[in-house]
């Protein structure tokens, strides 16, 4: 059970199979409780009874332990990327903002320039991994069941199946959710948040943790701007108000507007990683 978001992922599948249960690589939600005492008390709460006064402190401790463990595993992922000069990006957004479409178009544009591999995260189905494979890149699908985010251990397991080549671009599509994926480092070089113009300008203000955690924002579906009420300048201003360092690209993944700038940024990022 994830104490950050309350999700549980006992139905986790990686490419349709339950992950191996070896201790160190076990996805975080599968691990034995950090502290049996705390877990039992959390699970035993009768919803009709008020929690004991000390519970918030225990919950915080558990959340802290879980995130600290995730950070350790993310650091191990990051070491592997550095050793193999791999550029890893973590794509986060609400469901439907265009992550998979963006990945498909990115793969189609760059697949002859560098090895590209994808880790797909969704609660159910292998639909996105199939779209990615059809675009010409190997993909591993993680199904998180009831879980609402990927964690570093899941990504480590998926990487074993991908057998990453040196100098690859690794694109990780997180579960569609603007809340919990903000807290879980996967070892990526950059977190890329995608906001589509049908979601409303106010999302950076409503979900500040995600926009603060991100390094790059893609404002997608800009081809729809003539047809809807959405103030793109205001959305960008809100995002920069939360995170002044955010790099912003306005794009249409389907029509291709703005894509050359995004692709050039990716190329220069990969070139830096290769040279490092």
Ligand X SMILES: Nc1nc2c(ncn2[C@@H]2O[C@H](COP(=O)(O)OP(=O)(O)O)[C@@H](O)[C@H]2O)c(=O)[nH]1
For residue 214, the partner it binds in Mg ion, ligand X, none, with Cβ less than 5 to 8 A by kind, is none
**What stretch of H or E contains 267?**
helix 259-275
- The reply to whether 128 sits near Mg ion by the rule CB under 5 A is yes
Q: What is the CA radius of gyration of the chain?
A: 19
For 63, list phi and psi in degrees, rounded to 5.
-60, -40
Regarding 100 and contact with Mg ion (CB under 5 A), the answer is yes
27 binds ligand X (CB under 6 A): no
Q: How far is the CB of 187 from ligand X (least distance, A)?
A: 21
77 contributes a contact to ligand X by CB under 6 A? no
Report the number of secondary-structure helices (H) and strands (E) in the chain: 9, 8
Q: How far apart are the first and last CA of the chain?
A: 38
Of 63, 65, 209, 223, the one binding ligand X by CB under 6 A = 223
Q: Which CB atom, from 56 or from 96, has the smaller least distance to ligand X?
A: 96
Residue 100 touching ligand X (CB under 6 A): yes
Nearer to ligand X, 67 or 92 (CB): 92
Which option in Mg ion, ligand X, none does residue 138 bind, with CB closer than 5 to 8 A by kind?
none
121 binds ligand X, rule: CB under 6 A = no
Enter the DSSP assignment of 15: T
Question: Is position 123 an interface residue for ligand X (rule: CB under 6 A)?
Answer: no
Residue from 176, 181, 204, 258 binding ligand X (CB under 6 A): 176
Closest CA to 7 of 36, 37, 27: 27
Q: How many residues bind Mg ion (CB under 5 A)?
A: 3
Q: For residue 222, what are its two tokens?
A: 């800009």
Interacting span for ligand X (CB under 6 A) from 40-48, 81-89, 183-191, 215-223: 215-223
Nearer to ligand X, 78 or 105 (CB): 105
**Distance between CA atoms of 116 and 165, rounded to whole angstroms?**
9
DSSP state, residue 140: E
SS3 category, 218 = strand
Asked if 97 interacts with ligand X (CB under 6 A), we say yes
CB of 129 to ligand X, least distance (A): 12
**How much helix, strand and coil, in percent to the nearest 5, is found in the chain?**
45, 15, 40
- Identify which of residues 120 and 201 has a Cβ nearer to Mg ion in the complex: 120
Distance of closest approach, residue 211 Cβ to ligand X, in angstroms: 16
E strands present in the chain: 13-14, 87-93, 116-122, 139-143, 169-173, 190-196, 216-220, 247-250
Chain contacts with ligand X (rule: CB under 6 A): 93, 95-101, 176, 220-221, 223-224, 252-254
Contact positions vs Mg ion (CB under 5 A) = 99-100, 128
């Amino acid at each position: 059970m994830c104490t950050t978001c309350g999700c549980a992922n006992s139905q986790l599948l990686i490419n349709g199979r339950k992950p191996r249960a070896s201790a160190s690589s076990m996805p975080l939600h599968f691990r034995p409780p950090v502290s049996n005492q705390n877990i039992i008390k959390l699970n035993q709460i009768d919803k009709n009874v008020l929690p004991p006064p000390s519970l918030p402190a225990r919950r915080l401790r558990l959340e802290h332990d879980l995130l600290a463990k995730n950070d350790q595993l993310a650091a191990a992922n990051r070491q592997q990327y550095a050793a193999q000069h791999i550029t890893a990006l973590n794509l986060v957004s609400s469901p439907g903002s265009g992550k998979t479409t963006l990945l498909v178009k990115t793969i189609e544009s760059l697949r002859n320039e560098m090895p590209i591999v994808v880790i797909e995260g969704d609660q159910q189905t292998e639909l996105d991994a199939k779209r990615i494979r059809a675009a010409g890149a190997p993909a591993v699908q993680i199904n998180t069941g009831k879980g609402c985010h990927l964690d570093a251990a899941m990504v480590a397991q998926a990487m074993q199946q991908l057998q990453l080549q040196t100098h690859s671009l690794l694109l990780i599509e997180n579960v569609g959710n603007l809340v919990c994926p903000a807290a879980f480092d996967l070892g990526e070089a950059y977190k890329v948040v995608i906001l589509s113009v049908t979601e409303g300008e106010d999302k950076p203000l409503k979900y500040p943790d995600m926009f603060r955690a991100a390094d790059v924002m893609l404002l997608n579906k800009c081809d729809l701007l003539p047809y809807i009420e959405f103030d793109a300048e205001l959305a960008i201003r809100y995002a920069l108000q939360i995170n002044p360092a955010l790099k912003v690209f306005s794009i249409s993944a389907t029509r291709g507007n703005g894509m050359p700038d995004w692709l050039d940024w990716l190329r220069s990022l990969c070139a830096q990683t290769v040279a490092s």
